């Protein structure tokens, strides 16, 4: 998978694309860890370009990011889930764990919740 990281005005944007590899959650954590340094970090994870996915891998990646953000007392939002992945999240009540938004613009406009 590919991770495009852009530091915005008040948050980081992480766009995930490509096909997952073996041990993708660990690879993602290793790749993203250098960006997770500041307390109260804010991250928006954009899954718009994730066309080929395995829900277990995606969940593992998002959980790795969520844990690191949690250690830093930060906040994380995810956006642009395709219909299949969104249904998986809703069916498994993952919308109770992750803040999900229709697109990046909606995520940016929404209020950042306290960690």
* pLDDT tens track for 25-77: 888 888 888 888 889 999 999 999 887 767 778 888 899 899 999 999 999 99
Q: Is pLDDT of 115 > 60?
A: no
Which residues 6+ apart lie within 8 Å of 51 measured at CB?
17, 82
H or E, element range at 77: strand 75-79
Residue 86 burial by Cβ neighbours in a 10 Å radius (0-12, 13-18, 19+): middle
Structural domain range at position 21 = 2-109
Higher confidence at residue 72 or residue 20? 72
* Per-residue pLDDT, 5: 92
Instruction: Report the predicted TM-score, pTM, of the whole model to 2 decimal places.
Output: 0.89
CATH of residue 69's domain is 3.30.750.24
The answer to whether residue 114 is domain-embedded is no
Asked if residues 65 and 28 have their Cβ atoms less than 8 Å apart, the reply is: yes
Within-domain flag for 99: yes
* Residue 28 counted as domain residue: yes
Number of domains in the chain: 1
Contacts of 109 (CB under 8 A, 6+ apart): none
Domain annotation covers residue 115: no
């Amino acid at each position: 998978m590919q991770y495009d990281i852009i530091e915005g005005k008040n948050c980081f944007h992480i766009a995930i694309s490509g096909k997952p590899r073996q041990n993708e959650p660990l690879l993602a954590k290793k790749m993203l860890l250098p960006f997770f340094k500041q307390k109260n970090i804010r991250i928006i994870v954009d899954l718009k370009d994730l066309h080929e996915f395995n829900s277990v891998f995606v969940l593992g990646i998002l959980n790795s990011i969520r844990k690191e953000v949690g250690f830093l007392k930060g906040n994380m939002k995810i956006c642009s889930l395709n219909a299949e992945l969104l249904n998986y999240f809703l069916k498994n009540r993952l919308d109770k764990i992750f803040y999900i938004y229709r697109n990046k613009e909606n995520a940016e406009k929404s209020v950042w919740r306290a960690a």
